[in-house]
Amino acid sequence: MTLRSIWSAIRLMVLSSLVLGLAYTFLITGIASAVFPQQAAGSLVTLHGRVVGSRLIGQEFTSPGFFWGRPSATSPAYNGASSAASNLGPTNAVLIAHVKARLQAFLKANPGVTASQVPLSLLESSASGLDPDITPAAALIQVPRVARADHLSPGRLRSLIQQYTKGRFLGIFGHPYVNVLELNLAVLRLRRP
């Protein structure tokens, strides 16, 4: 009786591996690449025929002429092949030191901005280390710096941010955000029309 059950269980697990593992995964892959090829391939973004990243995966921006994303805890920053959070707890001195240092660095890079204007989300690292978005407030605070560096009018940049802001789902879920890569691609188009 037990032997018979073991033999049945072995056959069931082998069958499961074939159907629930392989067939299921390949079926979804087939449907995905036929119906949603762009998403299935990773929402990649190309510029002049070159892959410049993925719309969904944040990338590092440090130059003053681009909008910057949030601090990333991956090693190195924005490592698209190794998502990670800092895991720092709220009473960890290292966390406080990091936030302090980022605030100082941000103020230095954005003259004219005061501490009380800098959103916390720009000073605290994301969960994945690959957050592709920032809040509209975090984008607006960077307008003077980007405008100066790119010789663009702040008004045009502000309307660009408004244009690229996405709202909450059903008006209640999530948080309004701007995709940093899409915003910077738009800035590039403004720079070299």
Question: φ, ψ for residue 93 (rounded to 5)?
Answer: -60, -30
Least distance to other proteins from the beta carbon of 184, Å? 6
119's torsion region: left (phi>0), alpha (psi -120 to 50) or beta?
Answer: beta
Before 111, cis peptide (omega within 30)? no
Least distance to other proteins from the beta carbon of 74, Å? 9
CB 34 within 8 A of CB 154: no
Least distance to other proteins from the beta carbon of 149, Å? 12
Least distance to other proteins from the beta carbon of 52, Å? 6
CB 67 within 8 A of CB 134: yes
Residue matched to tokens 């408004």: 162
Q: Give the β-pairing of 165-166 and 133-134.
A: unpaired
Least distance to other proteins from the beta carbon of 31, Å? 6
**Distance from C-alpha of 83 to C-alpha of 100, rounded to nearest angstrom:** 24
**Distance from C-alpha of 146 to C-alpha of 68, rounded to nearest angstrom:** 10
Between 9 and 153, CB nearer to other proteins: 9
Least distance to other proteins from the beta carbon of 105, Å? 13
Between 132 and 160, CB nearer to other proteins: 132
Between 154 and 174, CB nearer to other proteins: 174
Taking residue 144's Cβ as centre, other Cβ atoms within 10 Å add up to 15
